[in-house]
């Protein structure tokens, strides 16, 4: 093992110029909050799984959807992007958006990364729950690690047309044109039946999570590289439209590459934190990582359908400090600074915001000013403690990112 290697869950990987995983991020791998009994993310995950187990059963009563909740988040660039038809220049592929182990492997940015492998195994219906990793801004609703659940449902011609009165002249495939409603390989009948099944399944899921009276709408000006057509489901929640999930008809090329050319299907994916924050009224995404019994004990219920409204343990006052510096060059990315703040100050950071940016043309230099909100989840900070941390952040930014503090 070389000193330049990284170890994740007992496996070592070589590093290279792509490597941007931090020890702090690596320490989250294996936490599997979605599998932790009584954790709010586990409760939501079980509500979703129970919906599928209850309403989608075979003629002998066993669940149709297989469940995978323990697949390693270290995946190849191929699994996360290429297999899902992401174009080569898609911004998600950049080192400023994604956590790379090295140029070949990364921490999955979505649980959709496992689609091709699972379809290759011959599965026609499955759910995948897991931790996903994205470099992003820092505030109460963004955290570099979060959890998703994905599903795929595939049909053969006979099964898709089973409920049609006279399917004799129908075919699921045709050599046609791609339109807003369908892919070039699909007949309009097949596309519409899939859309119907997808929307019925997912509106049933929304009813089950938010109650039968919930108001919903399908947003169709959405794009995913791996589905067409694609939709987002929104529900009316406390007076606002809330995005619940993304979904669509699986690109036929993906099925072809996975050895399932004769099947057609749909897929969806959703974020568990976003749902849990709304359903339980959890105000800050960092709370999911808290070991505070005051947080966790509020979710100790054996029936995941028990309604729970989170009561804040207490809210300690924030400390807000600004930091201004000249960036070293045009390649500087705010996401690098966000990661560094988290690495130095951990979950004490509630928010980091770029509040000012200006360029001195004559001197060819650009200044960024970031406002950092520090707030402890279970104690009051003294200004002295925060100043100490803030100084450490400044020093690390100088040493590691090459910025010049102003």
Q: Which residues bind ligand PHE (CB under 6 A)?
A: 110, 112, 150, 224, 227, 246-248, 267-269
Nearest residue (CB) to ligand PHE, 266 versus 280: 266
Nearest residue (CB) to ligand PHE, 193 versus 341: 193
**DSSP, residue by residue, 99-123:** -BSSSSEEE-SSGGGGHHHHHHTT-
Nearest residue (CB) to ligand PHE, 108 versus 286: 108
Shortest distance (Å) from residue 227 CB to ligand PHE: 5
Nearest residue (CB) to ligand PHE, 130 versus 248: 248
Kindly state the tokens that stand for 66: 């297989």
Assign residue 310 a region (left: φ > 0; alpha: ψ between -120 and 50; beta: otherwise): beta
| 325-354 core/surface letters (b: 16 or more CB in 10 A; e: else) | bbbeeeebebbbbbbbbbebbebbbbbbbe
Shortest distance (Å) from residue 246 CB to ligand PHE: 3
Nearest residue (CB) to ligand PHE, 13 versus 56: 56
Nearest residue (CB) to ligand PHE, 100 versus 325: 100
Nearest residue (CB) to ligand PHE, 44 versus 345: 44
Shortest distance (Å) from residue 301 CB to ligand PHE: 28
What is the number of the residue whose Cβ is closest to ligand PHE? 269
Nearest residue (CB) to ligand PHE, 110 versus 390: 110
Quick check: 202 and 235 in contact, CB under 8 A? no
Sorted by sequence, the CB contacts under 8 Å of residue 178 that are 6+ apart come out as 184, 228
Phi, psi (deg, nearest 5) at residue 344: -85, -45
Shortest distance (Å) from residue 263 CB to ligand PHE: 16
Shortest distance (Å) from residue 23 CB to ligand PHE: 25
In the numeric block, the tokens 């976003």 are attached to 274
Count of other CB atoms within 10 angstroms of residue 296: 16
Coil, strand or helix at 188: helix
CA-based R_g, the chain, Å: 23
Tell me the CA distances in angstroms from 107 to 37, 74, 254, one per residue in order. 24, 5, 21
Count of other CB atoms within 10 angstroms of residue 361: 8
Kindly state the tokens that stand for 330: 């045009």
Nearest residue (CB) to ligand PHE, 224 versus 338: 224
Shortest distance (Å) from residue 269 CB to ligand PHE: 3
Shortest distance (Å) from residue 24 CB to ligand PHE: 22
Shortest distance (Å) from residue 82 CB to ligand PHE: 15
Nearest residue (CB) to ligand PHE, 110 versus 263: 110
Coil, strand or helix at 404: strand
Shortest distance (Å) from residue 298 CB to ligand PHE: 28
**DSSP, residue by residue, 69-87:** ----SEEEHHHHTGGGT--
Q: How far apart are CA 122 and CA 159, in angstroms?
A: 16
Shortest distance (Å) from residue 104 CB to ligand PHE: 21
Tell me the CA distances in angstroms from 114 to 75, 100, 226, one per residue in order. 9, 17, 12
């Amino acid at each position: 093992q070389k000193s330049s290697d990284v170890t994740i869950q007992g496996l070592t990987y070589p590093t290279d110029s792509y490597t941007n995983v931090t020890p702090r991020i690596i320490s989250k791998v294996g936490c599997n909050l979605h599998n932790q009994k009584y954790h709010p993310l586990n409760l939501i995950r079980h509500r979703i799984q129970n919906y599928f187990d209850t309403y989608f059963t075979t003629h002998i009563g066993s669940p149709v959807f297989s469940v995978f909740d323990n697949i390693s988040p270290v995946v190849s660039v191929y699994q996360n992007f290429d297999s899902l038809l992401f174009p080569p220049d898609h911004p998600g592929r950049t080192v400023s958006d994604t956590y790379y182990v090295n140029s070949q492997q990364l921490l999955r940015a979505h649980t959709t990364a496992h689609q091709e492998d699972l379809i290759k195994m011959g599965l026609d219906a499955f759910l995948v729950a897991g931790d996903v990793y994205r470099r992003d801004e820092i505030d109460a609703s963004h955290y570099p690690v979060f959890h998703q659940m994905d599903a795929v449902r595939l049909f053969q011609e006979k099964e898709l047309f089973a409920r049609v009165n006279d399917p004799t002249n129908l075919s699921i495939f045709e050599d046609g044109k791609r339109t807003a409603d369908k892919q070039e390989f699909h007949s309009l009948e097949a596309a519409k039946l899939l859309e119907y099944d997808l929307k019925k399944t997912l509106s049933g899921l929304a009813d089950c999570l938010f109650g039968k009276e919930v108001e919903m709408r399908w947003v169709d000006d959405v794009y995913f590289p791996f589905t067409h057509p694609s939709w987002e489901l929104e529900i009316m929640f406390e007076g606002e439209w809330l995005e619940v999930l993304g979904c669509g008809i699986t690109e036929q090329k993906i099925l072809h590459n996975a050895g399932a050319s004769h099947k057609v299907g749909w897929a969806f994916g959703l974020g568990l934190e976003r749902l849990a924050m709304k359903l339980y009224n959890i105000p800050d995404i960092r709370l999911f990582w808290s070991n505070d019994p005051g947080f966790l004990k509020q979710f100790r219920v054996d029936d995941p359908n028990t309604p729970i409204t989170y009561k804040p343990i207490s809210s300690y006052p924030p400390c807000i400090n600004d930091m201004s510096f000249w960036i070293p060059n045009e390649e500087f990315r705010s996401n690098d600074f966000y990661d560094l703040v988290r690495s130095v100050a951990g979950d004490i950071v509630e928010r980091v915001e770029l509040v000012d940016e200006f360029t001195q043309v004559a001197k060819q230099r650009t200044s960024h000013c970031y406002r950092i909100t520090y707030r402890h989840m279970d104690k009051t900070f003294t200004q002295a403690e925060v100043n100490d941390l803030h100084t450490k952040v400044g020093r690390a930014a100088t040493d590691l990112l090459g910025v010049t503090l102003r």
